[in-house]
Structure formats: C-alpha cells, structure tokens
Amino acid sequence: MNGCEADHEAPLGTVETRSLSTVKSLAAATERLITAVSNLKSEPPPFSSGIVRFQVPIDQQIGALDWLHAQNDVIPRCFFSPRSDTGRPELLQDLAMASESVNGSSDCNPVSVAGLGSAVYFRDHVPFSHDHWRSIRRFLSLNSPLIRAYGGLRFDPNGEVGVEWEQFGAFYFAVPQVEFVEFERSSMLAATVAWEDELSWTLQDAIESLEETMLQVSSVIVRLKRESLGVSVVSKNHVPSEGDYHPSVDTALEIIKAEDSPLSKVVLARSSRIITDTDIDPIAWLARLQCEGQDAYQFCLQPPGAPAFIGNTPERLFYRKHLGVWSEALAATRPRGDSEDSDLELERDLLTSPKDDLEFSIVRENIREKLSAICESVVVKPPKTVRKLARVQHLYSQLAGQLRREDDEFDILTTLHPTPAVCGCPVEEARLLIKQIETFDRGMYAGPVGFFGGGESEFSVGIRSALVENGLGALVYAGTGIVSGSDPSSEWNELELKISQFTKTLEHEPALQPIN
C-alpha cells in the first residue's frame, strides 16, 4: 500500500501499539506474534483505516543485523543503526530534557533496527513535498514511538534517474511489516498491519500479507563474524576516470576564483564500479563495515526489486526529539597516522591548514544560518575540533537549536539538505555545476537516510555508501570538496582514501557461529 495515494489530511482511525509479555527466545516471540495477528482477524478494530503494531520483548540480546542476514533476501528490507559514539548528543541534552518535561514522555532508543516487507510504504517520482511528509505523519504517533518510517531521498530529485536507481523513486520510506529491534541488553520482535479502505487495501488484505511474510521469517539466527567477507575484487572502473577528474576540478576552481562568481565551494563525486569474483552479500558487507564504524551510522535500504543501498556514514544530518534539533558540521579530511605521533601530526596539519579551515567554515556557517531560520536560538560547540574515524579524521563541530514548532520537521529536512559538505555553497549554484560536470546519477548517495517517528526523527547523510547489485558487483560512491587552494591530485587521493573502507573489506572468508 502506497500511503502517498491516500488523503493526507484525513486522520487514521487508529494508530496503536500493543505490547505483549516478554519471552525468552526468538522462536517464542514469533509464535506469540502469529497468534496475536490471527486474533486480530476475529476481533478487528472498527475503523476504515489504521495501523497496529504488535511487539514482543525478548529477554536476550540478538544482533539486528544477524537477524536480517538470516532472512529471505527476496523480501524488501531495511536496516538502520544510529551512531554509538555518544549515544545522544551532549549539546542537546538540556533541550531534550526540557521537551520531555513538556511532552511527558521519554523514548527508549534502539541500538539498531532491521525490517522486512512494508506494512505501508511511501514512494513517488516527484520531489518530496510537504504533502508527502504529511502522508507519512498520518501513520505516526507520540504514543507509538517505535512505529517509524525508514527510508531516504535522492540527492537531486530533479536530476536524470539512472536505471540502477529507478525503483527508489525520488524518495522511498517504509514502515516494516516485521521488525527486529536490538537494545543494549534485550531485543524485540514486532509485526505491523496498516490498512486504508480508501485505497482498497482492507484490514483483511493487510493481515493476509503480513501472515505471508511471517511464514518466511526465520527464527534460526547465525551470528556473522565481522572479520572478513571472502570476495576478491576483479576490477574497478571509475566515473569519472582520473584523467577526466583533473580537468573537472580545474574547471570548478576557475569558476570559484572568478571575480564575479558567488561559488565558494563545490563537491565533486565519483562512482566506482567494483566487479568481484562472486556476488556480494550486502548484509554481510554491512556487517564487515560495522567493525570499522562504531562511530558511524550503518544503513541498508532495499525497496522491492531494487539493489541494496548500504552505507557506513559518519555524518548526521539532524536528530530531532520533540522541539530539540541537533546537527553537525563535518568537512576536510586527513588519513589516520600509523603511530600516535604521526596521527597527531596529521591532526595538527588539518587544524592549521587555511584551505581546510575555509572548507570547514563554509559548511559550519551555512548550517548555522539554516538552523537559525527555523529555530529560536542556535548554539555552536565547539567552533572547530577534529573527529577521528577508523581510517580518516575530519574537522568537526556540533550545532543545536530549539524549534519554534514541532511541525517544522519537514522544514528541517528541506532546509538542511543538501549541506555544503556534500554539495557546495551556495547550494543552488553548486548543484547546477554538479549537474553540468558529473556524468553519473548520484541517486540517494549524499541524500538524507534515516527515519521519521512520532516523538523523534533522525537522518544521516548517505555518504561512504554503495549500491549492491545482484550479479553485477557494486557501485561505490565518494566525493570531495573543491575550494580555492584545492589540488586535483590531492582530491583524487582523498576519493581513494574514502572508498578504501569498502574495497579493503572484500578479502577473506567470513566465519559463521550459531546463536544458542
């Protein structure tokens, strides 16, 4: 059922979560859900539209990615894991606590969420609009915080769509039919039905579709060790090639340096097709990347009949909890050193580089201005520091503000995306130049990827990402910011560094270990 086709102004008859008693095993949780869904047939809610979530807590922690890896890979699937570096941003704590005292709720935060199928999905081939957002919000409620719509948007909704991205539309979101939620010490299995008589999708239709999906859900989970993947790279083909990339950077620099040009930065990206000796399992690849990404978001988004878009991105676009909103500036890159001394030397070089300070300042100030347009006040802390990841380090700053209205969430998304870190500044001039120079479709690369929820929403920036195609290897994406002082060879080397976490994780055979 495509929720975009319904009347977005008409409220649903019911939005509810039914929590069942805790069980000891995944198999017991599956049986309990099957019974609950069956009982819904005999005692249906008296509404012509609605969404009902059944959830069963499990007194055992099981990895959501392990659960997803055990499932049928033909069913549409999604996965989202927030960053685990600081839990929720320190700069936002006071705002979040103030919001909770007003709204009277405090949500538990999953470690990661995996989903199969779609109780309701939202997809269109025209740019994401306020009406589309309202269509999604109909199915969400503060009283059902774990009913969430996971998905993402294209980087450029008006750009020409490549065949590899056709099934994603201009945007794609879904509330999973079957969902596995991993918490710090426990787990949860959930099943959701959504119906809309107006769309000729009745409660009976929704229940039958869910039952069909649940019949394919496996309760036998095999823990996927993250050491290796067991795939060899046969070839890599870059678009643009290095020979074409250098002139593109030179062209961008000429425009940036022109006296009458408003452009101060543009991000030029590259698509690298990797051909391997065997098909790549996107979930196993994501598990391997997860080892390097404890301080990053991991995500997987795979609509029906589409390739899997996976990512290990360090960058949060925004996190909203009630009226509090938090974002960050992340720009400029250095590799990590092979010793403590060399790492500190690279850090000092990054902090003192005029070119990198310019690139970072453009990003930070642009985000500050955008947040100021929708918030009562904006705090920036610290003005500039270094954020260290497994293979690279970046200049970094946090920004937080208080929204004027909770319904301004659509404005958060459309105001912050795209950031100068993935597009340039000013945005429209940079986007126009990108369209002129780049000869491939970015799709959802560098677009917002995350979820909308009743009490909170969170979106990452879909960088450090790949599109995994059945039998065709994968397309790996990376970009680099071009400002005055940029050098084409150095920028090309930065692209190589950014995709290294993908290419270097396709090496040896993974070990599987049963979960008791």
Catalytic residue chosen out of the listed positions 182, 292, 315, 328: 315
Which SS3 state, helix, strand or coil, does residue 175 take?
strand
Cα distance between residue 99 and residue 94, in whole Å = 9
Establish whether 315 is a catalytic residue: yes
Of 265, 321, 370, 498, the catalytic one is: 265
CA dist., res. 327 & res. 283, Å (int): 28
B/e letters for 382-420, b = 16+ CB within 10 Å, e = fewer, are eebebbebbebbbbbbbbbbbbeeeebbbbbbbebbbbb
Does the annotation mark 236 as catalytic?
A: no
CA dihedral over 250, 253, 258, 261, signed as positive or negative: positive
CA-nearest of 268, 265, 271 to 247 is: 268
- Residue 151's Cβ-count burial label (10 Å; 0-12, 13-18, 19+) is buried
Beta strand 222-224 with 178-182 is: unpaired
Q: What is the dihedral of CA 476, 417, 134, 109, to 10 degrees?
A: 70
Q: For residue 178, what are the contacts with CB-CB under 8 A and spacing of at least 6?
A: 115, 116, 117, 189, 190, 191, 192, 210, 213, 214, 217
- For residue 339, the 8-state DSSP code is S
Can you tell me the distance from the alpha carbon of 514 to that of 330, in angstroms, rounded to the nearest whole number?
39
Q: Phi first, then psi: what are they for 153, rounded to 5°?
A: -125, 155
CA separation for the pair 83, 75 (Å, rounded): 26
Q: Are the C-beta atoms of residues 230 and 511 closer than 8 Å to each other?
A: no
Active site residues: 265, 315
